[in-house]
Structures are given as C-alpha cells and as structure tokens.
C-alpha cells in the first residue's frame, strides 16, 4: 500500500540511520521521532541514540543475523535492501515483501566511513586505509537513490535542517522533487567517494614505478625515452566548488575555484584562509600558487616575488624580512603589483617591508598577530594563510592537469629536488663550494620559471631571470638585460640543455663563473668546450625542468 498522495508527498514511516559523522544526529533523530518514524540503526549510531534515550531497533534485530567479520557485514541483507528497493506501486514487489516478512524503509540516512580523512593523515598505512573503505554504506545509498520515487536518501548532516523544515510543513512528508534532488546528491557522493579510493590505490600502485624513474638521464634531443607508465586507464576528477570568482583570466570569462576532495587541510592554495583583503581573482590564485610552490621547494627561509607566474625575484635570508629585501632588489619594478610568498611565519619586520610597495597577495604558512595588523592596514592587500607547508613526499604521486581541445593531459607533479651528490662535473674546472650553493639555488628557481628558462643567481639571491622565450639564447640575453644587480661573479641555470654553444658564449660575456644544466644534447662536447675556453665550471643534472 502506497503512502504517496497526488502531489508526490510521501510519509516517512521507517528510517535507517548509520553515520560516521554524528554532527546533528541527535537533533535529527528526535525530529523524526516527533513524526512517529521508527528508527533502525547500526552499532555506533544506535549506541549514540540510546545514550540520549531515543528508541531505536538494531539492524541485527531486523535481519535476524548479527554483525560479523569485525563489522564488515551488517546491512547486506534482503531485509534491508528489499525494504529499500521495493517499488510501492508494484503489486508484485509489495507481495514479495509480505511473503518474506520484509518491512519497507522510507528513508536512509548514511554518511560513509571517513576514507578521505584517513588517507590525509601523515603515516597512514595501506591496511588502515583499506579498512576505511565503506561497502554497506554505498550499497544502501545507491539502493535508496535508485528508488528515489519511494525513498529519501540523506548523505550529509548539512541536509538535516531543510528536510525537517519540509516535514514540518507537510505533516511528516517529503515531496517527490526533494527525493529526486536527494538522489542526485547521493550519486554524486558515492561517485566522489569511489574516485577518491581509486586515486589513492592508483598512486599506491604507481609508487614503485614512479620512484624508479626519478634521476634517470634525460633523453637526447633526437631520441625520447619511454615514460614510467602506471597512469590510470580512466580519469574521474572529484572536485567540490569552494567559491565563484568574479571572472577568469579576463572579464568576459566565467570562473570558480574548486577543491580536490582529498586535498590536505593545510599547505595548499585552494584550502588557504583569506584572513584579510578583497576576494581572490582567478589570476591571483594562479600567481599565488606559483609563488607558494617555489618557496616550498626551499628548506631555508625563502621569499619569492611572482609576476604572471614567473619569478621577479627570489632570495634566501636569515629572516623573512631579509629574504624579502634581497628578493625585491632583483627587479623592484616588476615586483610592483606582484605576489609575495614566504615559507616561514611572517613577523612584523617582514610585514612592514612588504607594505612599502603595492602588493596584490601575500601568502605564508602563518603570521604573527602584530604582522596581521600591519598588513591589514594596507588597503586591498589579500592575506592568505595556508596553515602549513607543502610536503614534497606527498607530491610525488599528485597529478598535474593541462586542458587541451577535446581532452586533458595528465602527469605526475614535478617535485624533483636536486642534491650535490647527483651533480656531474663535466668541465676541467669544478665549481667551488660557494658556486655549488649558488648553482643549486639557481636550479631550484629555474624549475619554477617558464621555459625556455634562464636564471642568473649569486649567494642565495636571483640576479636576473629570462623566462618564456622561444630560443634559449634569447632567454640568456633577456635575463642579463633585466638584471639590476651586478652579473659578474654570478652563476647561471638553464632548465634544459644548451643546443648550441652560443648560450654559454653569451653568458660568459656577462661575467658568470659557473653554469648548471641537464646535459643530453648531441652537441654537449661543443658546449663543454665553450665553457672550458671561458674558464667556467659546468655541472650536469641529468634532469630537465620544462614548465609550460
């Protein structure tokens, strides 16, 4: 017998509740009881309801079978799924329920095992993650969502208030449109949940293959080496909208910010807290992320000033203030209206020097209280707090996406960090310790500069940056042309090999003493000979850092 009237309103007489997130559970259950709804529940949820005196039947009482296998099997039973899936206007379905003593279930309230929160914890094991893969929950959600004509499915505490309000208006009934909308949310939730599990297990599977590919020599320009493999056969992105943006890269483009459902709570731009200033724009987010990724690549106190995703100045310092001052003098003109990132808590001194010129965004792990007061006094300055740093060990199996017409390119993140031991000296003269330190610094900045990329640096400070040019020698020239500090005595980093010796010859004119590059060109011998002729030290990395 159906409980649905002409307007599609359906009375809720029996509800199954099984939730990991118990936020709002008691209030919602009490509201259901006011409508004489019979409650069925599982272990932890039933215990929480009984503790406050709410009457509830155990699922095991309904099924006649106790929970087993450490709770892995609870609700996978015809007395549960039959009660959910039976179509109330189908006489055969209802006769089958009567024959087997199955009672209809009109509402299913489920939120799933906390798989996303589990894998976000540092040091979580594969075994721990697997035990948080919910089986019965998604099965019940999908059953209820499939039968949305007769069953309401509730997958998040945020839905409780609105549902009770509707039941109050309709004497314990929910409309057909509401049930249909709930089903849409339910399938979105199970889809996202399964995709998070798939992405996590794919990363686990790929881990060995990806690690084995790191530090392999780069290919010669006439022959490409095969990739590491291990990428998923199908790609299903799980993203939730954080906020709409005023527009995209240009005012005529629509835009919004979306957050990965498995994003860490700290250390990312998408989850960063805007503690002051105007709302972030599309371009603000792009530039802030470029700056943030750069400073997170340094263990020492670092500051990066970014303009249009390229570094205008980067420096290390004994304090955030010193790092900023040294970064600023690289190119103070381009720094105007730029994005500033720190990998340390911003103190008052750093805050005061940042506010001396117009800055769009400042981003850092945290801020001293007085620093926030200083920064807030600067009109229109956006202050982003990430709450932590990006951890390189978590990024090896993160993915980078680039849209192309008709599809998407996907790759693992470029999180390679070079060490001294990995360098190969190829010239007659090897670099001094001071030159080595400058070369490693320049190489890190070069990794975050658009190709073709050239970075001049000295003593933990950028001297000149040549970015995004069609020929490498033009990047060498532009980096020198834009230098505000003396080039003599600096070192040079190139994100890819020198295809000809002309880049080295040009750099030598400006007084550099050493250079770092991947190597791998068919003309390596000519390039090395040019370095020897100029008395330069040259090291190969066997790693390339193209950035498009």
Rounded (to 5) percent helix, strand, coil in the chain = 40, 20, 40
Which residues have a Cβ under 8 Å from the Cβ of 290 and sit 6 or more positions away? 306, 309, 310, 339, 448
Burial of 407 (0-12, 13-18, 19+ CB in 10 A): exposed
Beta bridge partners of 517: 540
Indicate which residue of 93, 149, 198, 308 is catalytic: 308
Active site residue 448: no
b/e map 326-336, b = 16+ CB within 10 Å:
bbbbbbeebbe
The one-character DSSP state at 73 is B
As a whole number of angstroms, the distance between CA 358 and CA 530 comes to 43
Q: Give the CA distances from residue 125 to residues 129, 220, 262, in Å, rounded to whole numbers and listed in that order.
A: 6, 39, 16
Q: Which of 146, 198, 396, 534 is catalytic?
A: 146
Task: Tell me how far apart the alpha carbons of residues 491 and 427 are, in angstroms, rounded to a whole number.
Answer: 15
Q: Is the peptide bond before 432 cis (omega within 30 degrees of 0)?
A: no
Alpha-carbon gap, residue 277 to 257, rounded angstroms: 17
Q: Where are the alpha helices (DSSP H) in 52-170?
A: 59-63, 78-85, 91-100, 115-120, 126-131, 136-146, 160-169
The answer to whether 303 and 315 are in contact (CB under 8 A) is: yes
In what helix (H) or strand (E) does residue 101 lie, and over which residues does it extend?
Answer: none
> Contact 16/59 with Cβ under 8 angstroms?
yes
Q: From CA 239, how far away is CA 242, in angstroms rounded?
A: 9
DSSP string covering 451-485: SS-EEEE-SSBEEEEE-S-SSHHHHHHHHHHT--S
Our answer to whether residue 396 is catalytic in this structure is no
Sign of CA dihedral 78, 79, 84, 89: positive
Sign of CA dihedral 334, 340, 344, 345: positive
Rounded CA gap, 253 and 249, in Å?
A: 7
The answer to whether the beta carbons of residues 295 and 305 sit under 8 Å apart is: no
Question: Would you name the residues annotated as active-site residues?
Answer: 146, 308
């Amino acid at each position: 017998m159906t409980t649905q009237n002409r307007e599609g309103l359906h009375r809720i007489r029996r509800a199954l509740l099984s939730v990991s997130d118990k936020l709002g559970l008691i209030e919602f259950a009490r509201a259901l009881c006011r409508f004489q709804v019979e409650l069925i529940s599982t272990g932890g949820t039933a215990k929480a309801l009984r503790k406050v005196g709410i009457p509830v039947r155990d699922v095991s009482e309904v099924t006649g079978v106790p929970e087993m296998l450490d709770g892995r099997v609870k609700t996978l039973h015809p007395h549960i799924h039959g009660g959910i899936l039976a179509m109330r206007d189908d006489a055969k379905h209802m006769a089958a329920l009567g024959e087997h003593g199955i009672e209809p279930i009109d509402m299913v309230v489920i939120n799933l095992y906390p798989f996303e929160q589990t894998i976000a914890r540092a040091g979580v094991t594969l075994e721990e993650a697997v035990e948080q893969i919910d089986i019965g929950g998604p099965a019940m959600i999908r059953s209820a969502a499939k039968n949305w004509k007769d069953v309401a499915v509730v997958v998040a505490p945020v839905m409780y208030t609105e549902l009770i309000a509707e039941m109050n208006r309709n004497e314990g009934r929910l409309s057909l449109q509401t049930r249909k909308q709930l089903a849409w949310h339910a399938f979105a939730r199970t889809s996202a949940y399964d995709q998070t599990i798939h992405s996590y297990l794919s990363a686990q599977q790929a881990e060995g293959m990806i690690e084995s590919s790191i530090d392999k020599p780069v290919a010669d320009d006439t022959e490409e080496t095969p990739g590491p493999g291990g990428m998923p056969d199908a790609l299903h992105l799980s993203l939730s909208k954080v906020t709409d943006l005023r527009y995209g890269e240009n005012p005529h483009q629509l835009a919004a910010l979306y957050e990965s459902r498995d994003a860490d709570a700290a250390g990312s731009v998408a989850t960063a807290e805007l503690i002051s200033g105007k709302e972030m724009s599309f371009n603000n987010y792009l530039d802030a992320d470029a700056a943030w990724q750069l400073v997170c690549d340094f263990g020492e106190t670092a500051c990066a000033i970014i303009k249009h995703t390229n570094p205008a100045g980067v420096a290390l310092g004994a304090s955030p203030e010193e790092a900023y001052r040294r970064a600023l003098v690289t190119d103070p003109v381009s720094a105007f209206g730029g994005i500033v990132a720190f990998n340390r808590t911003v103190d008052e001194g750093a805050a005061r020097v940042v506010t001396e010129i117009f800055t769009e965004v400042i981003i850092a792990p945290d801020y001293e209280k007085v620093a926030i007061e200083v920064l807030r006094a600067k009109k229109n300055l956006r202050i982003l707090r990430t709450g932590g740093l990006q951890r390189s060990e978590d990024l090896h199996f993160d993915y980078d996406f680039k849209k192309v017409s008709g599809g998407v390119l996907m790759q693992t993140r470029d999180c390679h960090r070079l060490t001294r031991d990995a360098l190969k000296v190829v010239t007659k003269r090897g670099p001094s310790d001071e030159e080595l330190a400058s070369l490693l610094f320049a190489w890190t900045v070069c990794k975050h500069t658009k190709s073709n990329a050239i970075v001049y640096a000295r003593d933990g400070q950028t001297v000149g940056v040549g970015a995004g040019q069609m020929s490498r020698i033009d990047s060498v020239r532009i980096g020198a042309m834009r230098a505000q500090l003396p080039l003599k005595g600096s070192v040079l980093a190139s994100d890819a090999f020198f295809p000809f010796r002309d880049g080295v010859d040009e750099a030598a004119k400006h007084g550099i003493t050493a250079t770092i590059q991947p190597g791998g060109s068919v003309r390596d011998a000519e390039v090395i000979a040019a370095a020897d002729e100029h008395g330069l030290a040259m090291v190969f990395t066997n790693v390339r850092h193209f950035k498009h």
